Structures are given as structure tokens and as C-alpha cells.
């Protein structure tokens, strides 16, 4: 008997009429469209975040390879052979070597340093452009998504007020529910914007660190080429030298 009473009470309990789905249905197709746009923005932001992190970590590991043994090689070609084929640092070296070869084919009197510096700068900028690709999307999402969510809120409130006016009910229950549902869209817009802004600032800071490393390496390569290998960075010793063993006394 008690189970039947509990089941009847559960069936008669009022259902929750407020929530995300109810808010989207309140705004109609426009609210649903805005919600889908925000979801796409969020997915795109996280996709760019993880792909750029992978690219940045790859370039940072390449910098460790350069520090490990590039400048121990006898020539730039030998040092470049120690780096990965798709390494950003190898691209700088290859472009520098190619620019040096091209300078000998020029008919106009162009300073070798200026020609090499321009070639290294173009190579460095092409790498930086790849690293910065996609960050503009994060900046756009961080700036636009709050307003997209606000648009959904405005449409939801407008639709709710029209229905309240038609029903002729102006009580707190009739107004607070639909208006509260509409405010969910603003919360969704902020939820999409905040991670995008944080990801943009973090990735930009990491890119600047990588760019400084690339610029320093580019200058070192330029100095090496311009001085015919006489100028290159100091290379730390891989391991301290072992002390020589004492010689055994000679027997008479």
C-alpha cells in the first residue's frame, strides 16, 4: 500500500519546467541556432589550444636538440643533418645556406650581410606565422561569444515577455522563470569566452619565448656564415674532464 502511495505522489509531483532545453525551446529556432554557434566556437577553441600546444612543444624540443650538439659540428650542413628533417631550426639553417649560394649568383652589387639577413628574417617570419596560425580565432571567440550569448538572452526575454503579455499574468512566478531561463544563454557565452581568452594569452606568451629563441639562433647562424665559421656560440662541455690517474712508480 505504501509503495502505491509513493508512486502516486511521485507521479503527481510537479515537473521542473526550467532548464537549458526549456530555455532554448522558449527562444525557438533562433536560440537553438545561437546555442549551436556557441558550441562550435567552444569546440574550435579547445581544438586550437591542443594543436598549438603540440606544435609549440615540438619546437621547444627541437631547441633542446640545437643546444645538445648542433654547434659541435664542423659545418652548418653537418649540424643540420643532426636535426629533424621538419625542424624549424633546420629550416633556418637550410635557408641560410641557400641564401649564401644565391648571393654568388647575383649580378647587382648587394651586400652579403644584407642579403643573408633578409633571407633569415623571411625564414624566421614564416615559422612565426605558422605558430601564430589559429590564434586570431581564439581572440575572436573571446571577444564575440559574450555578445552572442547576450543576443540569445535578449531573444529569450523578448519571447518570454510576449507569452506573458498574451497570458495576462504578471506575477513573479510567471516573469522570473522565463527570464531566468533566458539568462542561461549569457552564462554559456561567458563559459565559451573565458577559456578562449586564457588560451590565447597563454599561447601568445609561449610563442614569444619561442620567437626569442629562433631569433637568437638566426643571429648565430648569420654570424657563422658571415665570418666563414670563425664566429659561433660558446658550447658548454658535455661532461667534466676526468682527472688523469697517477703513474705507477718505476721499478729498478
Question: Does 5 have pLDDT greater than 50?
Answer: no
**What secondary structure does DSSP assign to 24-82, as a single string?**
HHHHTHHHHHHHHHHHHHHHHHHHHHHHHHHHHHHHHHHHHHHHHHGGGSSSHHHHHHT
Lowest mean pLDDT of 59-63, 76-80, 245-249, name the range.
245-249
Question: Does 27 have pLDDT greater than 70?
Answer: no
Q: What is the pLDDT of residue 161?
A: 76
How many percent of the chain have pLDDT more than 70? 75
Question: Using 50, 70 and 90 to split pLDDT, how confident is the model at 241?
Answer: very low
Angle between helices 29-69 and 172-226 (to 10 degrees): 30
User: CA 59, CA 221: separation in Å to the nearest integer?
Assistant: 17
Q: What is the pLDDT of residue 82?
A: 84
Running DSSP on this structure, what letter comes out for residue 168?
T
Indicate the domain borders of the chain. Answer: 24-226
252 or 186, which is more confident: 186
How many percent of the chain have pLDDT more than 90? 29
Question: Does 65 have pLDDT greater than 80?
Answer: yes
User: CA 25, CA 182: separation in Å to the nearest integer?
Assistant: 10
Amino acid at each position: 500500500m505504501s509503495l502505491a502511495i509513493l508512486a502516486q505522489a511521485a507521479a503527481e509531483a510537479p515537473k521542473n519546467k526550467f532548464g537549458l532545453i526549456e530555455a532554448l525551446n522558449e527562444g525557438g529556432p533562433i536560440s537553438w541556432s545561437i546555442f549551436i554557434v556557441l558550441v562550435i566556437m567552444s569546440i574550435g577553441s579547445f581544438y586550437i589550444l591542443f594543436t598549438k600546444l603540440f606544435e609549440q612543444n615540438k619546437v621547444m624540443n627541437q631547441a633542446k636538440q640545437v643546444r645538445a650538439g648542433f654547434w659541435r659540428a664542423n659545418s652548418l650542413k653537418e649540424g643540420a643533418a643532426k636535426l629533424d628533417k621538419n625542424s624549424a631550426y633546420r629550416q633556418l639553417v637550410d635557408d641560410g645556406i641557400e641564401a649564401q649560394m644565391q648571393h654568388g649568383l647575383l649580378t647587382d652589387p648587394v651586400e652579403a650581410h644584407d642579403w643573408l639577413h633578409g633571407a633569415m628574417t623571411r625564414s624566421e617570419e614564416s615559422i612565426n606565422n605558422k605558430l601564430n596560425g589559429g590564434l586570431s580565432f581564439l581572440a575572436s571567440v573571446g571577444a564575440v561569444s559574450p555578445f552572442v550569448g547576450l543576443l540569445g538572452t535578449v531573444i529569450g526575454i523578448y519571447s518570454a515577455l510576449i507569452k506573458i503579455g498574451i497570458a495576462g499574468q504578471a506575477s513573479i512566478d510567471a516573469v522570473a522563470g522565463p527570464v531566468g531561463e533566458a539568462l542561461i544563454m549569457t552564462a554559456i557565452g561567458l563559459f565559451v569566452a573565458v577559456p578562449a581568452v586564457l588560451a590565447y594569452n597563454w599561447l601568445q606568451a609561449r610563442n614569444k619565448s619561442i620567437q626569442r629563441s629562433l631569433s637568437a639562433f638566426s643571429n648565430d647562424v648569420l654570424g657563422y656564415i658571415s665570418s666563414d665559421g670563425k664566429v659561433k656560440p660558446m658550447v658548454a662541455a658535455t661532461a667534466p674532464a676526468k682527472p688523469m690517474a697517477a703513474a705507477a712508480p718505476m721499478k729498478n
